[in-house]
Amino acid sequence: MIFFDNVSKIYNSHSVALRDVTLRIEPKEFVSIVGTSGAGKTTLLRLLLREEEPTSGRILLDGFDITDVRRRDLHRIRRRIGTVFQDYKLLPMKTAYENVAFAMEVAGRAPEEIAEDVPQAIQLVGLTGKENNFPHQLSGGEKQRIAIARALINRPDVLLADEPSGNLDPVNTAEIVKLLLKVNGLGTTVLLATHDSKVINDLGRRVITFDAGRIVSDEEHGTYMPDVGEEKI
Amino acid sequence: MALTTLKRVLSAGYVSFRRNAWLSLATIMVMALALFVIGNLIFLGAFANTVLAQLESRIDVSIYFQPNASERDIFSVKHDLESHADVADVAYTSRDAALAAFRDRHKDNQLITGALAELGDNPLEASINVKAKDSSRFAAISSFLEQKNYSIVDKINFSENERVVERLGSILTAVRASGAVLALVLAVIAMLVAFNTLRLVIYTMREEIGIMRLVGGTGWFIRGPFLVSGALYGFFAALVTTVIFFPLTWYASPKLAFLVPEFNLFSYFLLHLVEFSLIMFTFGITLGILSSFIAVRRYLHV
Ligand SMILES: Nc1ncnc2c1ncn2[C@@H]1O[C@H](COP(=O)(O)OP(=O)(O)OP(=O)(O)O)[C@@H](O)[C@H]1O
Ligand SMILES: [Mg+2]
């Protein structure tokens, strides 16, 4: 269970990213986080990963307050959470294969396990044949898919996906969404942050809408209708 | 498990060292330069020590004895001096030996050899030459001789040199102290340059360090490969420096020998090759590991 208890995040006086957010997500839920650019979606995910600390409030992960975790124990939280970052965050000096394998090495998995799982994950995201490319030798969409493979490889309890289809064409987007649903079906809680109203509306799952750092709606079978103004952006 | 982790850390360190070949090469060069400075300081120290020792050994006291003094009495004086704590060496020159040396020195000068032959008798005195353990101890030896006041002593060739000897002694002490300070300062600067280069290298990798943390890496798992790369930089820098000193000392040796014949740089290098390379490798590898450790630290706070 994930519980944001009255959480605010103020980067500085000009950017208040989250205001008094209270939010409860049950295990195995599939939740979409939507909102205009700058609404605070990425910030919410970064707080859950303790990439940032909240200015006030508590964040509980299975009853544990993650803001209490000491810095040198942070890897314990992070190994339970797989993340697809909005800016991918691939390691530039490692190949596609090594980037995915790194997440397993970090978790102390056996070499045989790595040799078996990594090619499977790469096949799952449709990048077989590009294993030995470095990130700068991959297209935006391909980088995104490697980031997804890395996020899934350790079968995390929670998957955070920040615009995982941002650089993908409709066909690939549909594939990724199918993949996320499949992972969710296997028991992983999924938090998906996106602008893509088509993705949200096809899903028919819980949708939480943010605006200027506040939750403005939280619907069990939600839709997302950005105003006409934003659609043009 | 621990073994697998160790293997992963070692191989990651090696792979990153190899993939960043140009960066590694540049870092090695800067570190080699730092080690080169330290190596030169070692040689300079050895050279200065030889020069100073030469100067010191030229400072001595000669005690001349009455022509009629018996060798037994002279030897008892010599014995007294030998058991003095500040005395390094005592050399006795008999009247005959003094004459022979004098003749030999002037064998081409017919005027002097002729005069000596006419004289018939040996005009030279027996003497004892005293060397102190170091130049600051002559005062003690001087007061010792004054206090004994041997009757067979004709003159002590000391009082005239005393002031020169004392001044030279204090100059030598000052040179040694300031040389050590200067060497230390230069060595520290060289190490700071190497340290900053490594910091710059790791600065370029700060984002990767953050990413590794976010995907669940522990501090040591992330830091490890950087320490391995640092050790490799240090190792190769030490290797380069040690190898470079072979042709360099060989080339510089005759030039230095021209200044101070007693100092042979090349054979000094060969003689101390083990200690020298040990210092280079210890310095290089420690510097590489320590700098990486300190530099990675701040980027791990993610
Ligand atoms: N490190 C930071 N320092 C200061 N302000 C920040 C920082 N990160 C984000 N912000 C600000 O916080 C607000 C929320 O940013 P956030 O990245 O969470 O938005 P987002 O909803 O993910 O937007 P997008 O859809 O464009 O990714 C923005 O106004 C942004 O300018
Ligand atoms: Mg965002």
**Ligand 1 proximity of A87 Cβ (cutoff 6 Å):** no
Helix axes B110-119, B95-105, angle to 10 degrees: 150
pTM of the model: 0.80
**Ligand 1 proximity of A86 Cβ (cutoff 6 Å):** yes
- Residues of B near A (CB-CB distance < 8 A)? 1, 4-5, 8, 16, 19-20, 205, 208, 211-219, 221, 301-302
* Measured CA distances, B133 to A2, A71, B141, B168 (Å): 81, 61, 11, 14
In sequence order, which residues have a C-beta less than 8 Å from that of residue A53 and are 6 or more positions away?
A: A47, A67
Contacts 24+ apart (CB under 8 A), A228-232: A230/A36, A230/A37
DSSP bridge partners of A3 = A24, A60
Map out the domains of chain A with their CATH numbers.
Answer: 2-80+156-232 (3.40.50.300), 92-155 (no CATH)
> Which has the closest alpha carbon to A192: A225, A224, A228, A231?
A224
Phi, psi of A159 (to 5 degrees): -115, 120
Given CB atoms, is A108 within the 8 Å cutoff of chain B? yes
**Ligand 1 proximity of A15 Cβ (cutoff 6 Å):** yes
Q: What ipTM was estimated for this complex?
A: 0.91
Among all bound ligands, the one having the nearest atom to the CA of A208 is 1
**Ligand 1 proximity of A17 Cβ (cutoff 6 Å):** yes
| Helix-strand-coil split of chain B, %, nearest 5 | 75, 10, 15
| A55 band by pLDDT with thresholds 50, 70 and 90 | very high
Contact at CB, A93 and B217, closer than 8 angstroms: no
Calculate the dihedral angle through the C-alpha atoms of B68, B73, B79, B80, rounding to the nearest 10 degrees. Answer: -100
Percent of chain A past pLDDT 70, that is, above it, reads 97
pLDDT by residue (tens digit) across B104-116?
Answer: 888 888 888 888 7
Is the pLDDT score of B199 beyond 50?
yes
Per-residue pLDDT at A229: 46
CA distance B20 to B27: 10
Is the pLDDT score of A202 beyond 90?
no
Show the 3-state SS of B247-268. Answer: HHHHHHHHHHHHHCCCCCHHHH
Per-residue pLDDT at A143: 94
Per-residue pLDDT at B158: 62
Show the 3-state SS of B117-168. Answer: HHHCCCCCCCEEEEEECCHHHHHHHHHHHHHHCCCCEEEEECCCCHHHHHHH
Tell me if residue B106 falls in helix, strand or coil: coil
Reading phi first (left if > 0) and then psi (alpha if -120 to 50, else beta), residue B69 is in beta
> Which has the closest alpha carbon to B296: B215, B232, B214, B200?
B200
CA distance B288 to B238: 11
Is the pLDDT score of B164 beyond 70?
no
Is the pLDDT score of B88 beyond 90?
no
CA of A17 to the centre of ligand 1 (A): 6
Contact at CB, B212 and A75, closer than 8 angstroms: no
Least trusted range by pLDDT, from A114-118, A156-160, B181-185? B181-185
Is the pLDDT score of A228 beyond 60?
no
Calculate the dihedral angle through the C-alpha atoms of B282, B286, B289, B293, rounding to the nearest 10 degrees. Answer: 170
For B209, the closest chain A residue by CA position comes to: A91
Is the pLDDT score of B157 beyond 70?
yes
Per-residue pLDDT at A153: 95
| A130 band by pLDDT with thresholds 50, 70 and 90 | very high
* Contact assessment for residue A7 and residue A47, using Cβ atoms and an 8 Å cutoff: yes
In sequence order, which residues have a C-beta less than 8 Å from that of residue A100 and are 6 or more positions away?
A: A118, A121, A122, A146, A149, A150, A153
CA distance A177 to A182: 9
| A231 band by pLDDT with thresholds 50, 70 and 90 | very low
CA distance B207 to A129: 27
Neighbours of A129 (CB within 10 A): 10
Pairing outcome for strands A30-35 and A189-193: parallel
Residue among A51, A102, A136 with most chain B CBs within 10 A, to mutate: A102
Q: How far is A70 from chain B (nearest CA, A)?
A: 11
For A153, the closest chain B residue by CA position comes to: B215
From-to residues of CATH 3.30.70 in chain B: 67-151
Over residues A207-220, the mean pLDDT reads 92
- Better-scored residue on pLDDT, B51 or B290: B290
Structure tokens given for A57: 């409030």
* Contact assessment for residue B228 and residue B12, using Cβ atoms and an 8 Å cutoff: yes
Structure tokens given for A156: 């995390």
Provide the chain A residues 127-156 that lie in CB contact (below 8 A) with chain B: 150, 154
Most confident residue range from A149-163, B121-135, B258-272: A149-163
Residue nearest atom 2 in ligand 1 by C-alpha distance: A11
For A88, the closest chain B residue by CA position comes to: B211
Residues from chain B that touch A157, judged by Cβ atoms under 8 A, are none
CATH class for the region spanning B67-151 = alpha beta
Is the pLDDT score of B160 beyond 70?
no
For B21, the closest chain A residue by CA position comes to: A93
